[in-house]
Amino acid sequence: MPIQIEFRNVTKTYGSVSAVRDLSLSVCRGEFLTILGPSGSGKTTVLMLLAGFVAPTQGDIVITGKSVAAVPSYRRDQGIVFQNYALFPHLSVRRNLEFPLEMRGVKAADRTARVDRMLDRVHLKEFGERLPSQLSGGQQQRVALARALIADPPIFLLDEPLGALDRNLREQMQGEIKSLHKEFGSTTICVTHDQEEALTLSDRIVVMREGQIEQSDTPESLYDRPATRFVASFLGEANIFENPGFEVEADGAQSPGTVAMIRPERICIGAPGNSARADEDRRQSVPGVVADMIYAGPLRKYYVRVGSSMLVVREHVGSGQQIFKPNDDVRLDWLRSDVRFLANGR
Ligand SMILES: Nc1ncnc2c1ncn2[C@@H]1O[C@H](COP(=O)(O)OP(=O)(O)O)[C@@H](O)[C@H]1O
Ligand SMILES: [Mg+2]
C-alpha cells in the first residue's frame, strides 16, 4: 500500500513543554493505526497537528506527497471524532449528519438519501429527528461516527472515541468502528490509552512516551516482542526478572543492558512432584510458593514467590485443573524460547 500520511521530524512545543518531539511516522493508505500511550504522552497533539488545529513548531506533515503546512484544517478533508462527541446540540441527528455534506456543496435530494443510508447503517433510523441530548451516550457516539464518515473522507481521525462508554458498549462500538473502517476504507488513526482497544482494532500500534515513539509494530509483534520495559508493561502484564534470585535461562545470549521478561500466560503452574513433560529439555522449571490466587471469570491469576521475585501466572480456567491456595508449594515452568529481553529504554 502506498504511503498516505507522513510526519517528518515534527516537533510541537508549548512554552517549555515538548508535546511532540522530533516525531517521524508514515501511515499507509487504508491502514488502521492506533496511537497508544499514557496521558500526556502527546497522542492528541499528533492528531491536532494532522487535522491542522495546531501547527508544528518544527518539521513537516505530508499528505499524499504534498506538504499541508499551508492547508487550513477545513480543507484537509478529514473526518474527526472526539471523546466528547462534539455534536451540535441544537440540531437534530439528521441535521448533524447533513452538515458536512452541506459544507461540501452536496445537493439537498442527495443529502437526504445519504443521511438515510447512514442512519440505517449505524442503526439509528428511528432517531433522525431527535436532539443529541435525547440520545444515550452510545447512540450519540454512533451519530458522531456517522457524521465523521458521511462525506466519505480519505482520512478518519478518532481521539479516545469510546472513553466515555461503559465496558460492554465499548466492545460493541469497537466492532462497529472496525466494520466501518472495512466498509469505508478510510485511512484511520485512532488515539487511545486503552491497550485492549489498541490490540483489537489496529493493523499497527504506535506506542508513545513523552512526545516520542517508543515502538511501532503490529499488535501481535508488539505484545510478543516488546523492545523496552515501558512497552512490555504498558501493553499487557509482564514478569520482569530483575535480580530474581535464580538464573533465568534463555535461548541465545542476553545482550548487555537488557532485562529478561516473560508474559504471565506463558508460565505453567503445577504440583511440585509432577512428572516430566515431553518437551522438558526446552523448559526451565523453578520451585515456588503461592502467595495469592485471584479468580477472574475465565482466568485464574496466581502470584507465586520464586527466589526473591513475585511472578504472576495466568491460567485459563478449565475442567480437571488442580487449584492451588496460598502457601501451597508449586512448580512453575516455561519454554526458554518464551523469555524475551527488554532494553531499559530512556
Ligand atoms: N494547548 C496546550 N497548551 C499547553 N500545553 C499543552 C497543550 N496541549 C497539550 N499540552 C501539553 O502537551 C503534552 C501532551 O499533551 P496531549 O497531546 O494532550 O497528550 P495525550 O493526548 O497523550 O494525553 C502534555 O504535557 C500537555 O500538558
Ligand atoms: Mg489526549
Summarised one tens digit per residue, pLDDT across range 237-281 is: 999 998 888 888 888 777 878 899 999 999 999 999 766 677 888
Distance (angstroms) between ligand 2 centre and the Cα of 159 equals 7
Query: What integer is the mean pLDDT of 223-227?
Result: 94
Q: In this structure, which residue's CA is closest to atom 25 in ligand 1?
A: 40
For the stretch 1-10, pLDDT in tens is 899 999 999 9
Q: How confident is the model at residue 13 (pLDDT cuts 50, 70, 90)?
A: very high
CA distances from 253 to 111, 248, 328, 337, 340 (A): 63, 11, 33, 12, 11
Q: How confident is the model at residue 211 (pLDDT cuts 50, 70, 90)?
A: very high
Query: What integer is the mean pLDDT of 313-325?
Result: 93
Residue 82 has phi, psi (to 5 degrees) of -105, 165
Residue 346 in this model has a pLDDT that exceeds 70: no
For the stretch 55-107, pLDDT in tens is 999 999 999 999 999 999 988 989 999 876 689 999 999 999 999 999 889 99
Between 186-195, 244-253, 279-288, 311-320, the lowest mean confidence (pLDDT) is in 244-253
Contact 291, 328 (CB under 8 A): no
Distance (angstroms) between ligand 1 centre and the Cα of 45 equals 6
| Ligand 1 touching residue 151 (CB < 6 A) | no
Does 85 or 216 have the greater pLDDT score? 216
Residue 190 has phi, psi (to 5 degrees) of -120, 125
Does 202 or 245 have the greater pLDDT score? 202
| Ligand 1 touching residue 14 (CB < 6 A) | yes
Q: Considering the chain, what is the average pLDDT of its residues? A: 92
Distance (angstroms) between ligand 1 centre and the Cα of 56 equals 13
Residue 44 in this model has a pLDDT that exceeds 70: yes
Query: What integer is the mean pLDDT of 309-329?
Result: 94
| Ligand 1 touching residue 37 (CB < 6 A) | yes
| Ligand 1 touching residue 41 (CB < 6 A) | yes
Give, for 27, the enclosing helix (H) or strand (E): strand 17-28
Query: What integer is the mean pLDDT of 223-229?
Result: 94
| Ligand 1 touching residue 42 (CB < 6 A) | yes
Share of the chain above pLDDT 90, in %: 77
What local confidence, expressed as pLDDT, does residue 345 receive? 66
Distance (angstroms) between ligand 2 centre and the Cα of 162 equals 12
What local confidence, expressed as pLDDT, does residue 257 receive? 82
Residue 287 in this model has a pLDDT that exceeds 90: yes
Distance (angstroms) between ligand 2 centre and the Cα of 262 equals 30
Residue 172 in this model has a pLDDT that exceeds 90: no
Query: What integer is the mean pLDDT of 157-178?
Result: 88
Residue 210 in this model has a pLDDT that exceeds 70: yes
pTM of this prediction exceeds 0.85: yes
Following DSSP, what letter does each residue of 249-315 receive, concatenated? P-SSPPPTTEEEEE-GGG-EEE-TTPPPPTTGGGEEEEEEEEEEEEEETTEEEEEEEETTEEEEEEE
What local confidence, expressed as pLDDT, does residue 275 receive? 66
Nearest-atom index, ligand 1, CA of 160: 21
For 98, left (φ over 0), alpha (ψ -120 to 50), or beta? alpha
Query: What integer is the mean pLDDT of 183-201?
Result: 93
- Going along the chain from its start, the domains and CATH numbers come out as 3-226 (3.40.50.300), 237-343 (2.40.50.140)
